[in-house]
Structure 1
Amino acid sequence: MTENQNSEAVEAYIQTLPDTYQEDVSQLRMLILDTLPEARETFAYGMPAVTVTDDDIVCSYKAQKHYISLYMDVAVVTDHADDLAALNCGKSCVRFRRYEQLPEEAIREMLRETAVKQKKANTE
């Protein structure tokens, strides 16, 4: 798939979501793409994902029955546990019901940290 086809596929995915999630997932997508302008959208494990290298996924996200999950690097989620304390977090995921619950600046920092880490790993 080309980048344009991937973006269209992500948009189509969002359109299939219940109305209650479409706006929140769209806002999350825009936050990710705004934070990482060099990012490419793709699909991995049946959900939208974002890459900055050919090998690694910076994050992926999916609307579940009761919440939206944002999957990220385990170490980065752990390092930002204090910023995410108000949310339901797993080892590598941040779960939220509404976009407004997300600590935007912390998520932006987490995305940047992961992207830098992956770029560095790919140049070594």
Structure 2
Amino acid sequence: MTSEAKTVQEYIDSLPDDRKLFVQKLRDVIIENLPKGFQEGMGYGMMGYSVPHSIYPKGYHCKPTDPLPFMGLASQKNSINFYHMGIYANKDLHDWFVSEYPKHSSRKLDMGKSCIRFKKFEEIPFDLIGELVTKVSVENWIETYESAFNKK
């Protein structure tokens, strides 16, 4: 489910009441732990965190007019989803997250390549997500992105 919201606040305001609190809390955790240089905004119908053109003028290779995406946060039909490209691009980070998750949640990890799905909102491991957010700097993400892109 993509949103037509133009701002993050408009996106949050459009959510059903049972999700607003949890999406806002997850957003707060992300912002509190977001490394310097990333920017928050809307992208691809969800809240996103990206490297602005002022830092990475090339932008996203699929659409250079867009900033370089890194993380996303979305309310989907059956879950709240957190997207973290670092987990997809860095095996060590992925393995760290997978091994840490059971220490923070009794629920089974529901994860795709970069997507972590939370179906029981009250069991979102906010502290773990906060720690994950701190693990990749803007410079680190650009280096990882370019090394993956240049291999093609």
Q: Distance in 2 between matches of 1:109 and 1:53?
A: 22
Identity score, percent: 28
Q: Distance in 2 between matches of 1:27 and 1:70?
A: 13
1:50 matched to which residue of 2? 49
Query: Structure 1 runs of 4+ off > 6 angstroms?
Result: none
Contact 2:49–2:70 (8 Å) recurs in 1 = yes
CA 1:106 to 1:83, structure 2 compared with 1: closer, same or farther past 3 Å?
same
- The residue correspondences of 1:30-109 to structure 2 (distance < 5 A) are 30-36=28-34, 38=36, 39-54=38-53, 55=59, 56-73=68-85, 74=88, 75=90, 76-85=93-102, 86-109=108-131
Which sections of structure 2, spanning at least 5 residues, go unmatched? Answer: 1-5, 54-58, 60-67, 103-107, 148-152
Which sections of structure 1, spanning at least 5 residues, go unmatched? Answer: 1-7
1:34 positional shift: 0.5
Query: Could you say what the CA RMSD is over the residues aligned between the two structures, in angstroms?
Result: 2.7
1:97 positional shift: 2.8
Q: Distance in 2 between matches of 1:37 and 1:113?
A: 8
1:77 positional shift: 3.7
Of structures 1 and 2, the larger Rg is shown by 2
Instruction: Write 1 or 2 for the structure with the bigger share of helix.
Output: 1
1:118 matched to which residue of 2? 141
CA 1:87 to 1:28, structure 2 compared with 1: closer, same or farther past 3 Å?
same
Q: Residues 72-114 of structure 1: CA distance to partner in whole angstroms, max 9, x if unpaired? A: 1213344411223533111111111344423233212221223
Contact 1:47–1:62 (8 Å) recurs in 2 = yes
